[in-house]
A = this chain, B = another copy of it.
């Protein structure tokens, strides 16, 4: 959850997106939420209100960028934690199986692991043309492309090193690890791990949630 980003607090099925995301992480281990620097107490109160009272959970002040927020959370982890997952609360409906798959791959020896899905649409590369329009420069071979989700998983020393050497803002921790020449492994993601950002995404999220409730009822 980036500084000042209210998306994680948007309500989905009566519950803030952040709370949905934390429920899927419940059994994973220590959880650190990076909140806007002036929003730590507010987030703590919100989590209490929704019964998210895991003993293993803490809220820390994020930084000015997404990367600094992750770095702050990373610094607050207990010393004995050696596998770290970085999750985006906007992927609130990420199934537990995805979280477990990423964690298991890191614990099984991979240094960096990301969940991802094949790209289903035809993909073109473009250049600017006129107004909203663009011109196609090429049809991209999509068979080797993957759309990346979260949580991204790392051996702690690898993520520490990546953050120590990174500069600027980065939207993807795995990208910082790639820069170090460390292999990043891709495991299957899940359609329900999509990022909830637009009103269209919220419609989809409500539908997924309704189906889950119908299935579990």
Binding site for B on A (CB under 8 A): 105, 114, 116, 119-127, 129, 132-140, 144-149, 171-172, 174-175, 178, 183-188, 191-192, 195, 197-198, 200, 203-204, 206-208, 211
Contacts and interface: CB of A to CB of B under 8 A. Distances in A.
A187 B145 contact: no
Number of identical protomers: 2
Contacts of A137: 144
A207 B203 contact: yes
Contacts of A184: 124, 135-136
B187 A132 contact: yes
B122 A197 contact: no
Nearest to A171: B122
Given A139-B175, A139-B178, A147 B133 contact: no
Contact of A124 (B121, B134, B146): B146
Contacts of A185: 129, 133-136
Given A116-B124, A200-B192, A203-B211, A140 B145 contact: yes
Contacts of A114: 124, 136
Contacts of A140: 145
Most central of A138, A197, A204 by chain B CB within 10 Å: A204
